Amino acid sequence: MSRQANRGTESKKMSSELFTLTYGALVTQLCKDYENDEDVNKQLDRMGYNIGVRLIEDFLARSNVGRCHDFRETADVIAKVAFKMYLGITPSITNWSPAGDEFSLILENNPLVDFVELPDSHSSLIYSNLLCGVLRGALEMVQMAVEAKFVQDTLKGDGVTEIRMRFLRRIEDNLPAGEE
Amino acid sequence: MADEALFLLLHNEMVSGVYKSAEQGEVENGRCITKLENMGFRVGQGLIERFTKDTARFKDELDIMKFICKDFWTTVFKKQIDNLRTNHQGIYVLQDNKFRLLTQLSAGKQYLEHASKYLAFTCGLIRGGLSNLGIKSIVTAEVSSMPACKFQVMIQKL
């Protein structure tokens, strides 16, 4: 009985390691293909965006959350539901700007960097930049234009990983010309 | 954790990313497939190391292949290989009737010509896993009707 239970948690851990390892192989390949870190960062962001615009559908189908009424609700859903569902972690939300349009996600541990060390030659690489793209793409599909960027990174020696999210504007549905 | 969706999307992005950034002639001479296969290889090596840390020693080659078909496949693709055949002389054919990375692509012959792009990573995954278990192999895949596919493993005697 207990042997089976062991297998269960083992395979859950393994699935997350599959994603971590695959992501690592991807970043390694990108570093080989593109000469400078800036290009790799951009590629990761773009790929993340493409993933995000599709992931949001999967998320909405699985989680059954309704429409968020403001940015604070959005932040809660992102941290407590989305991150938990896909990466198994619950980042904390801090540093709200006075206008309520910016906040920080603090990740105590980032599963993407589980076996990773950044060599000196890639000091300006934003390893987990895919996440920023995913957040941006997913939120765009629910009519929110946001900016996401890393301001702290454990890979670069900081104590935690911090993503700063900034609300830019609401995206109005663009009706095709001629329709009212 | 619903990370199967995440892995699927990441894999598909990787495939399209490799092909989008392919330079002149790279698609034809198979560089893209090689890149994907190499990525799979690295991941397979790492995964099998983590996975078999505490398992018992494998009795023989067939035991290893059965492990790949059952435990390894279940961890990665949430199901087992449906059929394993061998000629007992170093050739194994692993058949998956509903391969997870192809189910979203088509259910039949549509897009058949693109299927190989989506199998390259997995071929590398198998090759990498076997490699770190001490087996050198060549892994190829064939599809006749999605989402069923067959992976052929040819063990290389050193």
* C-alpha torsion sign, points A49, A51, A53, A55: negative
Please give the residue that has the higher pLDDT: either B40 or A69.
B40
DSSP sequence for A115-149: T----GGGTT--TTHHHHHHHHHHHHTTTEEEEEE
Q: What is the pLDDT of residue B106?
A: 84
Which residues are CB-contacts of B154 (< 8 A; sequence separation ≥ 6)? B90, B91, B137, B138, B139, B140
3-state secondary structure of A154: helix
CATH of the domain at B93: 3.30.1380.20
- Dihedral, CA atoms, B49, B55, B60, B61, nearest 10 degrees? -40
Q: What is the pLDDT of residue A174?
A: 65
Tell me the mean pLDDT in the region A100-129.
Answer: 91
Q: What is the pLDDT of residue A102?
A: 95
Q: What is the pLDDT of residue A177?
A: 59
How near does any CA of chain B get to the CA of A171, in Å?
25
CB-facing half-sphere around the CA of B44: CA atoms within 13 A: 26
Q: How many domains does chain B fold into?
A: 1
> Is residue A17 over pLDDT 60?
yes
Q: In Å, what is the CA distance from A158 to each residue of A150, A153, B27, B58, B133?
A: 11, 5, 41, 43, 37
Which residues are CB-contacts of A62 (< 8 A; sequence separation ≥ 6)? A85, B2
Nearest by CB to residue A19, choosing from B6, B16, B18, is B6
Residue A8 lies in a domain: no
Which residues from chain B sit within 8 angstroms of residue A16, using beta carbons? 1, 3
> Is residue A131 over pLDDT 80?
yes
Is the backbone of residue B112 left (phi > 0), alpha (psi -120 to 50) or beta?
alpha
Q: Cβ(A116)–Cβ(A127) under 8 Å?
A: yes
Which residues from chain A sit within 8 angstroms of residue B10, using beta carbons? 19, 22-23, 26, 51, 130
How confident is residue A173, by pLDDT bands cut at 50, 70 and 90? confident
Q: Per residue in A53-85, pLDDT tens?
A: 999 999 999 998 888 888 999 999 999 999 999
Q: What is the pLDDT of residue A8?
A: 52
- State the residue range of the domain holding A118: 16-170
Please give the residue that has the higher pLDDT: either A115 or A45.
A45
Tell me the mean pLDDT in the region A158-178.
Answer: 84
Task: Check CB contact under 8 Å for B7 and A22.
Answer: yes
Residue A4 lies in a domain: no
Q: What is the pLDDT of residue A3?
A: 46
> Is residue B46 over pLDDT 80?
yes
How confident is residue A10, by pLDDT bands cut at 50, 70 and 90? low
Determine the residue type at B100: R
β partners of residue B149: B96
DSSP sequence for B24-93: TTTTTTTHHHHHHHHHHHHHHHHHHHHHTSSSPPP-SHHHHHHHIIIIIHHHHHSS--SEEEE-SSSEEE
> Is residue A4 over pLDDT 50?
no
Q: What is the pLDDT of residue B2?
A: 57
ipTM at complex level: 0.90
Residue A2 lies in a domain: no
Displacement of CA B149 from its chain's centroid (Å): 10
Q: Cβ(B94)–Cβ(B66) under 8 Å?
A: no
How near does any CA of chain A get to the CA of B85, in Å?
26
Distance from C-alpha of B120 to C-alpha of B143, rounded to nearest angstrom: 12
Q: How many domains does chain A fold into?
A: 1
Place of tokens 């990787």: B14
Q: In Å, what is the CA distance from B154 to each residue of A84, B14, B42, B58, B131?
A: 41, 26, 19, 19, 12
Is the backbone of residue B89 left (phi > 0), alpha (psi -120 to 50) or beta?
alpha
3-state secondary structure of B94: strand
CATH of the domain at A89: 3.30.1380.20
Q: Per residue in B64-114, pLDDT tens?
A: 999 999 999 998 999 999 999 999 999 999 999 999 999 888 888 888 888
Nearest by CB to residue B3, choosing from A19, A29, A33, is A19
Nearest by CB to residue B5, choosing from A17, A58, A115, is A58
